[in-house]
Copies of this chain bind each other. A is one copy, B any other.
Amino acid sequence: MTAPPEINIGLMGLGVVGTGVAATLLRRESPISDVTGRPVNLKKVLVRDVSLPRDIDLPPGMLTANAEDILADPDIHILVEVMGGSDPAEGYIKQGLAAGKYVVTANKEVMAKSGPELMALARENDVQILFEASVGGGIPIVGCLMNELAANEIRSIRGIINGTTNYILTRMANERTSFEQALSEAQGHGYAEADPTNDIEGIDASYKLTILASLAYRRAFRHQDVYCEGISKLEPQDFRYAQELGYAIKSLAIANLDDGAVQLRVYPALLPAEHMLAKVDGVYNAVEVHGSLCGQVLFHGMGAGREPTTSAVVGDVIEAARKMGALPPGMQDRGIKPANGPSVRPIGDLLSRYYIRLDVADNPGVLAQIAQVLGDGQISIATVIQKDIQPETGSAEIVITTHPSREASVQQALQALAGLSQVRRVSNTLRIEE
């Protein structure tokens, strides 16, 4: 493709983000043309129903319900996909790339499931697919992993990359509300969807982690490679005990390279209260990258919402417009390659400290029994908190933290603990990040 004198955009999707992108592209004083060195125009916008009322005034004839008006138009150079979901978005992206269009997408699901394939298709067609908006909203983590931090071997990525869960956890920590109450508040504020499963069960974060890890380790991970636990199991007392022990509870997405293999996990974990990530509150996101050269670099900002996501999408549009017509050889190769790089280490191999909360009968000798089971599993106890009996139930609560132990041994010990007659319930098990 040679560089066109003007660059035309076809936008797919006019929801919250699409409206922000359209508004920014239509603004006269926008810096876009200035920094790209040529006009960048919004030409067509794909919506499901052109007759619906909109939050934005678009020039007549710009809306269409027919994807071919964008895909088959050779004068549209960049396809911006902000529809979300796999289908039909992925098909449109493929058609766009095959037609020699640059693609900018905010679609974490498509990029997590088919990113390497789409990047290969882009290479074959001498274009690029850009996806800064798929992770971290206004935080430029995707570009930094691909570009500015490219000299580093990435030791680990630890992120708070789902604003919904972080909002819920912040409410539970600060107000000691129940999970259900905090979720309902999040829904009331529009931070959580009516069906919150994707967010609270860590699926959204696992998509994002798959993308980040694939870029960091230059290997096509699948989102099924991510070990995933949600936050619905957390109870108010977990936050109380965590605080007593000097920790916050955050849902972390972690990728780390250890002995040639990568471990990928999303779960609520205890994090020292003074750690920067422990101070990330509300709907904010943060990602900490530990590189061989840069050391620990933390990025903090709004992880979602109309404007932050528009910042990422339009940033990619600018990058595409700058590159168009002049992709040097090798430049297309900086993204995810299919099989390449380190393998995935199963969760059972994890070496971590653990927090274990047990509901026990208030009988003498119960702690000795528990300690015996842990000792048999070579799990060394770091701290014990035993709380007063609840008179109405006759039960007591014991919270144990361990020294670093192997996940598989801990899971085995938890089964054994659950089988003890004195143990009424293993109420919760959380990992501790240092």
Question: Are the CB atoms of A310 and B151 closer together than 8 Å?
Answer: yes
Contact code string A340-379 (vs B, CB < 8 Å = 1, else 0):
0000000000000000000000000000000000000000
The residue in A132, A140, A144, A152 that gathers the most chain B C-beta atoms within 10 A of its C-beta is A140
- Residues of chain B within 8 A (CB-CB) of A296 are 301-302
Distance in angstroms from A202 CB to nearest chain B CB is 24
- Residues of chain B within 8 A (CB-CB) of A279 are 276, 279
Q: How large is the interface on A (under 10, 10 to 19, 20 to 34, 35 or more residues)?
A: 35 or more
- Rounded to whole angstroms, the CA-CA distance of A321 and B333 in the bound complex is 13
Question: Are the CB atoms of B152 and A148 closer together than 8 Å?
Answer: no
Residues on A lying within 8 angstroms of B by beta carbon are 3, 20, 24, 30-32, 34-38, 132, 137-140, 143-144, 147-153, 218, 276, 279, 291-302, 307-308, 310-315, 317-319, 321-331, 333-334
- Rounded to whole angstroms, the CA-CA distance of A327 and B38 in the bound complex is 15
6 A-B pairs with CB atoms under 8 Å apart are A3-B329, A38-B329, A151-B315, A151-B318, A295-B307, A326-B328
Distance in angstroms from A26 CB to nearest chain B CB is 13
- Residues of chain B within 8 A (CB-CB) of A36 are 330
Question: Are the CB atoms of B143 and A148 closer together than 8 Å?
Answer: yes
- Residues of chain B within 8 A (CB-CB) of A150 are 31, 35, 315, 318-319
Distance in angstroms from A422 CB to nearest chain B CB is 44
- Residues of chain B within 8 A (CB-CB) of A140 are 140, 144, 147-149, 297
Distance in angstroms from A161 CB to nearest chain B CB is 14
- Rounded to whole angstroms, the CA-CA distance of A147 and B141 in the bound complex is 12
- Rounded to whole angstroms, the CA-CA distance of A367 and B5 in the bound complex is 68
Question: Are the CB atoms of A151 and B32 closer together than 8 Å?
Answer: yes
User: Known: A218-B34, A322-B328, A326-B327. Is A293-B138 also a contact (CB below 8 A)?
Assistant: yes
- Residues of chain B within 8 A (CB-CB) of A292 are 307
Q: How many copies does the complex hold?
A: 2
- Residues of chain B within 8 A (CB-CB) of A308 are 293-295
With A139-B297, A297-B300 given, name 18 new contacts (CB 8 A): A30-B151, A31-B152, A34-B218, A35-B150, A35-B218, A36-B330, A37-B329, A37-B333, A38-B330, A138-B293, A293-B311, A294-B302, A298-B298, A299-B300, A300-B300, A322-B328, A322-B334, A323-B328
Question: Are the CB atoms of A326 and B331 closer together than 8 Å?
Answer: yes
Distance in angstroms from A354 CB to nearest chain B CB is 28
CB-CB nearest in chain B for A309: B293
Question: Are the CB atoms of A31 and B218 closer together than 8 Å?
Answer: yes
User: Known: A3-B328, A314-B151, A322-B328. Is A293-B24 also a contact (CB below 8 A)?
Assistant: yes
- Rounded to whole angstroms, the CA-CA distance of A3 and B319 in the bound complex is 21
Question: Are the CB atoms of B315 and A35 closer together than 8 Å?
Answer: no
CB-CB nearest in chain B for A144: B140
- Rounded to whole angstroms, the CA-CA distance of A153 and B151 in the bound complex is 29
Question: Are the CB atoms of A276 and B300 closer together than 8 Å?
Answer: yes
- Residues of chain B within 8 A (CB-CB) of A314 are 151, 293
- Residues of chain B within 8 A (CB-CB) of A328 are 3, 322-326
CB-CB nearest in chain B for A297: B301
CB-CB nearest in chain B for A330: B37
